[in-house]
């Protein structure tokens, strides 16, 4: 099993996703600022994974903060949470995870727990979130597997796999579960410029599992659909608004339009921690703009003219009307999503 | 002015498009086989440019063939034409250009011309085709300029510019003509994976002309349209069937669907030599599959796992129903294209 991230006494250990697929290297972040840097530089990426990474960063920073009392610890704890919250703006799991650590901290303080008890409980909490994330992926797989075709092809975009989570994956978890249930389709992996999560990460982890995968440039997805090679689309999410609008990796919106035009079902798989009922619709989701260099350079090689102007939004918003269903560990939401998501919220 | 290709006594000189935008290097192909290799390796690319390149290759090979009589020259001439015709299958301009050289050769033989006369006439013919190509681009620009918006943004895909022709460009010729007429829109250039003609070539030549250009990954085009940044799409063609279906660079079909979904006009600009009335529809256009390595590697850097399976169709077919108008040097064709193209054929 791929160990995307794990807690160790030495720090949080990540597989370095910037060096895959040619090098499988693990890095240990020994301070919370190193964890924050790992999120910013995308050593770890994927909404569920960065949520748990942030929680572990909070636990690590709190463990190492110099404080004799909870009162001394509090301002440092706040500073640690702020630093981790400032890493990336779009995936709501990050804020959900930090919120959960804050709530836990507040409850521990309110019940008069010692600094040592607070420290160890926050570590346990982050480990618990890791375990819950894997369990949520497995449940998503069970809930979604039957939606995929038995043969033919399934398109995915970016990486919503084991590498985007604490294991098994969201969209790729659904694909894995379908395979475990006997399906034998081919996966088409959009390479997903500019960061190439599809060609570098999705192809790598599916090939490790022996699931047949074909890498295509993003601009080939339409032609594959036109040729009848794609029977369904399944991909992840970075934030799902209350009305079902989905922010996900740039290009998701294009894939959704292509799926609609070809009459192909379009599925989103995400843990409940990605659902943000406080955000009414996609227009309210902040979209991260990343460095122009991701577009103008690749592996140090310049591929655009000097001083070229670029856009580099890391995400786009797919309006809910393009989405066939949203697969979560709590169940499968279908239109109208405002109602079905509210129902799953319980 | 950019010299994409030109005849010299030493051979056919090409700007090496595989080394742009970081290096502006010219290579001289001294034999017809070197010209054929330049087409295969995409030192020269773009349907109109490879047509004229092939004609110059035929002229070069015929000039240097050892033959005392036209009868001795004929089998060598056929061999030269066959080698150039085998370079790439999709762009019809290649076959059109070779056909024109063959017809000229046959007429010269039929009228009893000497080997020296045949040689010099074929050189003149290829130079004439070069001049005609530039003139066609300028005429396309005049015919199409008013179709583009005055402000806002215009999206293009791949490179249908000076570098794809003998100068001025087809789609970029229309953009240049609109600028010359006072329009001040921003050009959005899809980077166009896998060969990156948009980021490497389109951005380079438009920036040289001072036309504001923003490079985007192919999968950002949908988001740019969603945000209202794109007022029109204009791009080139490699072959236009009698019913108006258009084969063009992979990803064109996706852009066409995005344009339709957003109600944005979608224009194709191409010289008449790209129109192939002998091909009834897009289903009959052969689509070149290129090396998997273009997808799995970039500038020598591996970006997909070892042994990854890929698809790499160099072109796709956009059905005519997605096309607002086809801009040629003879005029602008609109639906129904079967009728409008037949009318322009005269």
Q: Which two tokens stand for residue B312?
A: 């790499």
Nearest to A45 by CA among A190, A179, A173, A200: A200
Contact B272, B328 (CB under 8 A): yes
pLDDT of residue B298: 85
pLDDT of residue B94: 97
The answer for residues whose C-beta is within 8 angstroms of residue B225's C-beta and 6 or more apart is B155, B258, B259, B261, B262, B264
- If you ran DSSP here, which 8-state letter would residue B309 be given? E
B193 and B216 fall within a common domain: yes
Tell me how close the Cα of B122 comes to any Cα of chain A, in angstroms.
38
A196 and A244 fall within a common domain: yes
Residue of chain B minimizing CA distance to A215: B310
How crowded is residue A111: how many other Cβ atoms within 10 Å of its Cβ? 8
Q: Is A190 exposed, middle or buried (CB count within 10 Å of its CB: 0-12, 13-18, 19+)? A: buried
Q: Average pLDDT of B215-244?
A: 98
* DSSP, residue by residue, B59-93: HHHHHHS--SSHHHHHHHHHHHHHHHHTS-SS-HH
Q: Residue A41: pLDDT band by 50, 70, 90 thresholds?
A: very high
Report the percentage of chain B scoring pLDDT > 70: 100
Q: Average pLDDT of A168-190?
A: 98
Q: Residue A20: pLDDT band by 50, 70, 90 thresholds?
A: very high
The residue from B119, B139, B159 where one domain ends is: B139
CA B268 vs CA B22, B147, B253, B285: distances in Å: 29, 11, 12, 17
A320 and A223 fall within a common domain: yes
pLDDT above 80: residue A280: yes
Contact A153, A108 (CB under 8 A): no
* DSSP, residue by residue, B203-236: HHHHHHTT--EEEE-GGGHHHHHHTT--SEEEE-
A133 and A173 fall within a common domain: no
**Domain hosting residue A29, numbered range:** 5-139
Residue among A37, A82, A124, A238 flagged as catalytic: A238
Q: Which two tokens stand for residue A336?
A: 């109208």
Region class of B137: left (phi > 0), else alpha (psi between -120 and 50), else beta: alpha
The answer for residues whose C-beta is within 8 angstroms of residue B233's C-beta and 6 or more apart is B154, B155, B156, B157, B255, B256, B259, B264, B265, B266, B267
pLDDT above 90: residue B313: yes
pLDDT above 80: residue A1: no
Contact B218 A218 (CB under 8 A): yes
Contact B176, B201 (CB under 8 A): no
pLDDT above 80: residue B220: yes
Which residue has 């190193």 as its token pair? A34
Nearest to A1 by CA among A150, A173, A125, A159: A173
Q: Which two tokens stand for residue B75?
A: 């089998």
Question: Using one digit for the tens of pLDDT, what is the confidence trace for A202-227?
Answer: 999 999 999 999 999 999 999 999 99
pLDDT of residue B1: 74
Report, as residue numbers or ranges, the catalytic residues of B: 238
Please tell me which of the candidates B213, B220, B313 has its beta carbon nearest to residue A313.
B220
- Residue B346 preceded by cis peptide, ω within 30: no
Please tell me which of the candidates A200, A257, A296 has its beta carbon nearest to residue B303.
A200
pLDDT of residue B140: 98
Which residues does chain A have within 8 Å of residue B307's beta carbon, measured at their own beta carbons? 207
Q: Residue B54: pLDDT band by 50, 70, 90 thresholds?
A: very high
Which residues does chain A have within 8 Å of residue B22's beta carbon, measured at their own beta carbons? 302
A15 and A89 fall within a common domain: yes
pLDDT above 90: residue B309: yes
A238 carries an active-site annotation: yes
How crowded is residue A266: how many other Cβ atoms within 10 Å of its Cβ? 22
How crowded is residue B23: how many other Cβ atoms within 10 Å of its Cβ? 8
B63 and B162 fall within a common domain: no
pLDDT of residue B265: 98
pTM: 0.97
Contact A308 B213 (CB under 8 A): yes
Q: Residue B300: pLDDT band by 50, 70, 90 thresholds?
A: confident
Question: Using one digit for the tens of pLDDT, what is the confidence trace for B114-163?
Answer: 999 999 999 999 999 999 999 999 999 999 999 999 999 999 999 999 99
Interface test with B, best of A17, A210, A219, A303 (most B CBs within 10 A): A219
Residue of chain B minimizing CA distance to A319: B226
Q: Residue B72: pLDDT band by 50, 70, 90 thresholds?
A: very high
The residue from A92, A123, A139 where one domain ends is: A139
pLDDT above 90: residue A298: no
Cα distance between residue A279 and residue A287, in whole Å:
13
Which residues does chain B have within 8 Å of residue A238's beta carbon, measured at their own beta carbons? none
Contact A207 B307 (CB under 8 A): yes
Please tell me which of the candidates A216, A254, A310 has its beta carbon nearest to residue B221.
A254
Question: Using one digit for the tens of pLDDT, what is the confidence trace for B252-285?
Answer: 999 999 999 999 999 999 999 999 999 999 999 9
SS3 for B267? strand
The CATH number of whichever domain residue B37 belongs to comes to: 1.20.120.420
Which residues does chain B have within 8 Å of residue A309's beta carbon, measured at their own beta carbons? 212-215
Contact B105, B122 (CB under 8 A): yes
B48 and B29 fall within a common domain: yes
Cα distance between residue B249 and residue A144, in whole Å:
36
Backbone φ, ψ for residue A127 (5° rounding): -65, -35
Nearest to A135 by CA among A165, A156, A110, A159: A165
Which residue has 């979904």 as its token pair? B261
B192 and B253 fall within a common domain: yes
A252 and A341 fall within a common domain: yes
A28 and A135 fall within a common domain: yes
Question: Using one digit for the tens of pLDDT, what is the confidence trace for A117-172?
Answer: 999 999 999 999 999 999 999 999 999 999 999 999 999 999 999 999 999 999 99
The residue from A116, A139, A162 where one domain ends is: A139
Backbone φ, ψ for residue B29 (5° rounding): -95, 115
Count CA atoms closer than 13 A to A19's CA, side-chain side. 9
Tell me how close the Cα of A152 comes to any Cα of chain B, in angstroms.
15
SS3 for B333? strand
Report the number of distinct structural domains present in chain A: 2
A184 and A129 fall within a common domain: no
- If you ran DSSP here, which 8-state letter would residue B199 be given? I
Interface test with A, best of B298, B305, B321 (most A CBs within 10 A): B305
Question: Using one digit for the tens of pLDDT, what is the confidence trace for A257-266?
Answer: 999 999 999 9
Please tell me which of the candidates B157, B196, B216 has its beta carbon nearest to residue A310.
B216
Crossing angle of the two packed helices B171-180 and B115-144, in degrees rounded to 10: 50
The CATH number of whichever domain residue A263 belongs to comes to: 3.40.50.10470
B335 and B260 fall within a common domain: yes
Cα distance between residue B339 and residue B327, in whole Å:
15
Q: Average pLDDT of B42-69?
A: 98
Taking CB atoms and an 8 Å cut-off, how many pairs form between chains A and B? 185
Q: Average pLDDT of B89-113?
A: 97
Q: Residue B299: pLDDT band by 50, 70, 90 thresholds?
A: confident
């Amino acid at each position: 099993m791929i160990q995307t991230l794990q807690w160790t006494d030495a720090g949080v250990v990540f597989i370095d996703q910037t060096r895959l697929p040619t090098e499988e290297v693990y890095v240990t972040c020994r301070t919370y600022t190193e964890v924050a840097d790992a999120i910013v530089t995308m050593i770890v990426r994927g909404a569920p994974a960065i949520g748990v990474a942030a929680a572990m960063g909070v636990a690590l920073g709190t463990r190492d903060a110099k404080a004799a009392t909870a009162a001394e610890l509090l301002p440092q704890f706040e500073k640690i949470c702020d630093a981790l919250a400032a890493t990336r703006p779009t995936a709501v799991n990050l804020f959900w995870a930090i919120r959960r650590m804050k709530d836990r901290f507040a409850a521990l303080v309110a019940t008069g727990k010692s600094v040592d008890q607070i420290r160890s409980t926050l570590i346990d909490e982050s480990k618990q979130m890791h375990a819950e994330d894997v369990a949520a992926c497995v449940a998503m797989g069970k809930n979604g597997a039957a939606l995929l075709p038995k043969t033919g092809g399934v398109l995915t975009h970016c990486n919503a796999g084991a590498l985007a989570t604490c294991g098994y994956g969201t969209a790729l978890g659904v694909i894995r579960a379908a395979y475990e249930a006997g399906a034998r389709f081919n996966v088409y992996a959009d390479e997903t410029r500019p960061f190439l999560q599809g060609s570098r990460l999705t192809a790598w982890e599916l090939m490790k599992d022996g699931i047949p995968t074909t890498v295509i440039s993003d601009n080939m997805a339409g032609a594959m659909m036109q040729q009848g090679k794609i029977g369904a689309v399944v991909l992840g999410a970075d934030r799902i608004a209350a009305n079902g609008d989905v922010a996900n990796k740039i290009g998701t919106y294009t894939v959704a339009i292509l799926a609609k035009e070809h009459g192909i079902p379009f599925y989103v798989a995400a843990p409940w921690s990605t659902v943000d009922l406080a955000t009414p619709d996609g227009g309210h989701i902040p979209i991260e703009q990343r460095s122009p260099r991701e577009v103008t350079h690749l592996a140090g090689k310049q591929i655009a003219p000097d001083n070229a102007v670029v856009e580099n939004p890391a995400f786009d918003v797919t309006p809910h009307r393009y989405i066939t269903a949203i697969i979560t560990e709590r169940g499968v939401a279908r239109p109208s999503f405002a109602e079905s998501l509210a129902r799953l919220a319980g």
